[in-house]
Amino acid sequence: MDVEEQTERLKADREHGASELALWAVEIMKNFVCSGDFRDATALIAEMKSIAQQIKTSRPSMAAPLGNTVDEFLGRAEEIALSGGGIAEAIQKCSIAADSLIEKLKKLPLMVARNFGSVLGEKTTVMTHSYSSTCLKTFSMHAKMIDKIFVCESRPGFEGRQTAEKLKDAGLKVVLITDAEAGFFIKEVDMVVVGADCVLENGDVINKMGTYLLALAAKDCGKKFYVLCDRYKFLKAEENFGFEEKVPQEIWQAPPGIIVRNIYFDSTPAPLITKIITEKSD
């Protein structure tokens, strides 16, 4: 599979969270480096920059995790290129650098999960939304402290169903609800816990559509609202963020004359968020 095809798959993906796609992005870069035929290290870096730009612009709502991980790898590759040696040595070192970054990224959800333990009480009832590998790791780690977890189905892709299955397999008591039922059942929970696709400079959180309404319901009912994510998801000023809109047919094959909108992500204002818990302990 060539880089363009891999990037298109990343762009079309509906099954994985931002952390998993960031890992995928580094793997795409590594595969490109290892399979390419480059004249010299300068040519290698030039082509890597072109691929990096394709990846970074493939998912505007995930501009932070994709941009930050790819930029970190690209920066390391440039250091390698400037250090001298032949192209074969540069490719080998870049591959090692990619593996190192991948291992670093894989450890982050566990670090976030450990830091979340401080806000849990005994037999906590939680509500969550959509799919987040970081949330899954966190809930699984603290399963003995969670009495029950409500999972919103997260239309139109129904990622919540995947979350519900994985949590059930981890031994948690799971209740799957429609997104519209969240306001009804939120009175039964102690807290809302979600992941994030991106954190803006002002502290607002970008996540799957419906997160903002869930935060409003939590605020109205006096429930704590936590966001779990690593700091690779914090947007830099120069990164190009945008709200992604998918094909309307995912929602409804509407008759002529009806406009269907299918925005995938929304923004939850910082004042509605109790705390963003990252891999860095406070």
What is the mean predicted confidence (pLDDT) over 90-116? Answer: 94
| pLDDT-derived band at 57, boundaries 50, 70, 90 | confident
CA distance 41 to 35: 14
Helix (DSSP H) and strand (DSSP E) numbers for the chain: 9, 9
Domains with residue ranges and CATH for the chain: 3-110 (1.20.120.420), 113-277 (3.40.50.10470)
How far is Cα of residue 213 from the mean position of the Cα atoms in its chain? Answer: 19
Write the DSSP assignment of 109-132 as a string of letters.
HHHHHHHHGGG--TTEEEEEES--
pLDDT at residue 80 greater than cutoff 90: no
By mean pLDDT, which of 38-42, 70-74, 103-107, 250-254 is the weakest?
38-42
The number of beta carbons lying within 10 Å of the beta carbon of residue 2 is: 10
Greater model confidence, 87 or 188: 188
CA distance 270 to 282: 18
pLDDT at residue 66 greater than cutoff 70: yes
What mean pLDDT value characterizes the chain?
Answer: 92
Q: In terms of Cα–Cα distance, which of 173, 171, 194, 170 is closest to 182? A: 194
pTM: 0.90
Is 190 marked active-site? no
Residue with tokens 């290290």: 41
Three-class secondary structure of residue 170 per DSSP:
coil
**Active-site residue among 179, 190, 197, 266?**
197
Predicted local confidence at residue 115, as pLDDT: 96
Greater model confidence, 236 or 25: 25
